[in-house]
């Protein structure tokens, strides 16, 4: 049986990292469905070769071998670790981390593998990332603001977001492709779906707007026109229906894993006051 434990990142990574995790597979290989989150991930199989999962625009299926332990980090959109290329060049790719970080990735993989426990290996990985972010300097505040404005709770047009940031639509697109790996529109679509997942995983009760309840209400709360709109986007982004994705329960994720470390900071942006935009 696969065990999966998410947790909040180390305090020094809170601005850049959404969640970290440790995953153990059981006696059989595990089919992992990677979904678009708006950010990138790094995966360190203990004793194996670490990889970076670039920003996704659709699902990616990976078979994780039996008796494998993976420590991982999921970054926030626009807050990737230091990389030698723009993220648009890494979209929908699983790339060996040594191709991007060279010997540093190999040394870090060895440190994780030799750690007494996966928890200590994850701590070493996070400590390395804290040092790298400090060395590189702060994140791009303009891209960070764009991500916040594109969150699903108060849908706005991409042109209005560009105007809010004093950029042209083409400038915003270039900045997003470089720092996020996707266009603003694709990012907005991804964040909207992540908003729905966060609501479902947390067991949230629909607000009742437009008379909707249950999954239809959660869909509306996340910015979808209706449940059919959600279903179409779910198939596009995950390859399966909402019912299949959530384990047969449309009102709450039934996978058995605790995702609170991932959805809590996402939901914390809900209802947060910000500049009112038109469009």
8 vs 262, more confident: 8
* Cα dihedral sign, 97-98-103-107: positive
User: Does residue 279 carry a pLDDT above 60?
Assistant: no
Between 209 and 55, where is the model more confident?
55
The average confidence (pLDDT) of the chain is 89
- C-alpha radius of gyration, the chain, whole number: 19
CB contact burial 172-182 (16+ within 10 A = b; e otherwise): bbebbbbbbbb
User: What pLDDT is stored for residue 214 in this prediction?
Assistant: 77
Residue 4 has a pLDDT of: 92
Q: Does residue 1 have a pLDDT over 90?
A: no
- Range 51-72 average pLDDT: 96
According to DSSP, the residues that pair with 32 across neighbouring strands are: 62
User: Each residue of 119-156: pLDDT tens digit?
Assistant: 999 999 999 999 999 988 778 899 999 999 999 987 88
Two tokens, residue 4: 């999966």
What is the pLDDT, as a whole number, of residue 213? 65
pLDDT at 246 over 90: no
> With 70 as the cut, is the pLDDT of residue 251 above it?
no
Which has the minimum average pLDDT: 12-21, 91-100, 218-227? 218-227
* pLDDT class of 277 with cuts at 50, 70, 90: low
Say whether pLDDT at 49 is over 60.
Answer: yes
Say whether pLDDT at 194 is over 50.
yes
Instruction: Judge contact between 215 and 228, C-beta under 8 A.
Output: no
Tell me if the pTM is above 0.85. Answer: yes
Give the SS3 label for residue 1.
coil
CA distance 153 to 128: 34
| Position 44 pLDDT exceeds 70 | yes
Per-residue pLDDT of 80-120, as tens digits, reads: 998 988 899 999 999 999 999 999 999 999 999 999 999 99
Proportion of the chain above pLDDT 90, given as a percent:
70
């Amino acid at each position: 049986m696969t065990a999966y434990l998410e947790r909040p990142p180390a305090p020094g990574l809170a601005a850049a990292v959404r969640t970290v995790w440790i995953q153990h597979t059981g006696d059989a290989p595990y089919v992992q469905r990677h979904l678009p989150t708006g950010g990138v991930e790094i995966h360190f199989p203990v004793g194996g070769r670490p990889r970076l999962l670039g920003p996704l625009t659709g699902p990616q299926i990976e078979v994780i071998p039996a008796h494998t332990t993976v420590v991982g980090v999921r970054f926030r959109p626009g807050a990737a670790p230091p990389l030698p290329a723009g993220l648009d060049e890494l979209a929908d790719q699983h790339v060996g981390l040594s191709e991007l970080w060279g010997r540093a990735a190999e040394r870090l993989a060895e440190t994780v593998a030799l750690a007494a426990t996966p928890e200590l290996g994850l701590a070493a990985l996070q400590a390395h990332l804290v040092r790298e972010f400090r060395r590189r300097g702060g994140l791009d505040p303009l891209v960070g603001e764009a991500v916040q404005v594109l969150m699903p709770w108060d849908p706005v047009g991409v042109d209005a977001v560009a105007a809010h940031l004093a950029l042209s639509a083409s400038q915003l697109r270039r900045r997003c492709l470089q720092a996020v790996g996707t266009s603003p529109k694709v990012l907005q679509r991804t964040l909207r779906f992540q908003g729905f997942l966060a609501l479902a995983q947390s067991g949230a009760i629909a607000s009742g707007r437009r008379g909707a309840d249950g999954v239809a209400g959660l869909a509306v709360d996340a910015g979808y026109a209706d449940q059919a709109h959600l279903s179409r986007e779910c198939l596009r982004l995950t390859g399966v229906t909402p019912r299949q994705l959530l384990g047969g329960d449309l009102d709450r994720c039934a996978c058995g894993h605790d995702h609170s470390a991932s959805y809590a900071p996402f939901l914390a942006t809900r209802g947060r006051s910000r500049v009112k935009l038109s469009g």
